[in-house]
Structure 1
């Protein structure tokens, strides 16, 4: 469904992976008035060539935001990468969107977004959701589950070592490809109405043991899943040279998997994109080169 394909649709962070894919999906689905926003519009020459309007959208430059949101009906607000600065940046964007007359915000959030101190990156997403809800605008919060691409960060090392470390009691993660997330976001921008929160998930919750088995099948090597306590896992992350703040965030993701927050399965990808989500097995098979295979 594309009820709003002829309205003015702004995608922020359009030079990033998810934002760029979302713009491409909007084009494919017949949207006629697309604005691609980024801090540096020169990076969007390929979209300009396809007839997409580009604008400078810099959440750190409050004075520029009225022009960035002028004439926009609906916004896909892609959460920024500036951990620790996301909340003031995104709150400024919400304020500017409301002042400009935007009617609907689609926001890329995170699963189980909440203000708890031990929720890793969740509080920034939670308070952004609160700011959007308090604005009075209609909204769709897309709580995107763990990207399948995150596995590519350490998969080659896991395969080489034969060991995959995780927490005791892991309940599985419904890994979601970034392409599926982007298609879902574009679909929500084109069709979502009212106020809603959507968990955007892959098709199945994959445990660490199952993930190790996938690596074994792809590599032909024996990969063992090793369950650790939180203290042991954090110590291992720090010993591997991961900064403490990032280690805490990774640990928080693992704790949430134990709690079951990452094992939720929904049909949001199918409803908004019209396609079934890609399985983790298929994603890994399509990215064997990145696994060092």
Structure 2
């Protein structure tokens, strides 16, 4: 029996969708643990999957949701705050107490080859969670997901491609590179790992895009595909934070999220997110898409709909 978490999100929901559509596992071998059971995709209910209420702040609900399972697919909690690690710790503790033997955990591609050390703020809870999981005595599988190509604009200075401006400014504290990948392809590959979890005992898998692409290279692609002038302005972290606090694309939080965001660029400049690995291609059975291959769908001028910051939780609300 395998417990799935995060199925109301795009990554976890994509994993569930791939498992069901491809018949990777019988629905009878799945349980879904969710804080909001009403938000679980209808496909899970239609397939007859058991759905349990699981709240990271109430360990007794996790114990009930996890009981009788062999493995847990732990999708990272959407936040860059301290609560992210605390919620992961609660899930790992509950897994061990309920008799689960194997935890499949989703991390990020920051941290170079191993992913176990990083200066990126967004990676700190992952580093702590992986160390805690490995020290727990449970069997682990770490799935390190590349940066999602569809949130390129968060990295590039909170850009929104609306019809009111001809020029686009990237005001950022660095020009590092990341191995951007298609979130749906990451979900597809992750589903294969989850469905075959016994083959990945005590392994860490890096799912990278096909190449590392820098902020300035994204600017060139954007300029080519939209015909707009794109100005890349590399400034100090302090200047970038002040600029985006004065020109807010995000609701104000006293600069907390921006200070975390600024650390990503130092990490990228050190090559933390630029390691290319063949695992994603091997799992997909085809070449994965990167920023270049997705440019037509990513660089679309539209009415501002707000930035997709769901992955970063309360820091970016």
Same fold (TM over 0.5): yes
2:139 is the alignment partner of 1:138: yes
Compared with structure 1, are the counterparts of its residues 19 and 58 closer, same or farther at alpha carbon in structure 2 (3 Å cutoff)? same
The aligned residue for residue 4 of structure 1 is: none
- Greater helix fraction, Structure 1 or Structure 2: 1
The aligned residue for residue 307 of structure 2 is: none
Q: Deviations over 1:63-115 (max 9, x none)?
A: 11111111222221001124321112111111111122222211111221556
The aligned residue for residue 3 of structure 1 is: none
- 8 Å CA contact 1:152–1:291 kept in 2: the answer is no
The aligned residue for residue 156 of structure 1 is: 160
> How many pairs align?
284
2:187 is the alignment partner of 1:182: yes
2:239 is the alignment partner of 1:232: yes
2-structure distance, mates of 1:65, 1:41: 13
The aligned residue for residue 39 of structure 2 is: 43
The aligned residue for residue 217 of structure 1 is: 224
Q: Deviations over 1:121-155 (max 9, x none)?
A: 22211111111101212211122222112125534
The aligned residue for residue 89 of structure 1 is: 87
- 8 Å CA contact 1:69–1:96 kept in 2: the answer is yes
Task: Indicate the SS of the match to 1:189.
Answer: helix
1-structure distance, mates of 2:289, 2:258: 28
The aligned residue for residue 57 of structure 1 is: 54
Q: List structure 1 segments (4+ residues) > 6 angstroms apart after TM superposition.
A: none
2-structure distance, mates of 1:257, 1:291: 29
TM-score by length of 2: 0.82
* Aligned-residue offset at 1:231: 2.5
The counterpart of 2:77, out of the listed 60, 74, 80, is 80
Q: Deviations over 1:229-276 (max 9, x none)?
A: 222222222222353111012111111111111111112212334343
Superposition pairs of residues 108-147 of structure 1, within 5 angstroms:
108-110=106-108, 111-112=110-111, 113=115, 118-147=119-148
- 8 Å CA contact 1:114–1:123 kept in 2: the answer is no
Unaligned segments of structure 1, at least 5 residues: 1-7
The aligned residue for residue 13 of structure 1 is: 6
Unaligned segments of structure 2, at least 5 residues: 305-317
- 8 Å CA contact 1:13–1:19 kept in 2: the answer is yes
Task: Indicate the SS of the match to 1:282.
Answer: coil
Compared with structure 1, are the counterparts of its residues 96 and 290 closer, same or farther at alpha carbon in structure 2 (3 Å cutoff)? farther
Compared with structure 1, are the counterparts of its residues 291 and 139 closer, same or farther at alpha carbon in structure 2 (3 Å cutoff)? farther
- 8 Å CA contact 1:138–1:193 kept in 2: the answer is no
TM-score by length of 1: 0.88
- 8 Å CA contact 1:209–1:224 kept in 2: the answer is no
- 8 Å CA contact 2:210–2:289 kept in 1: the answer is yes
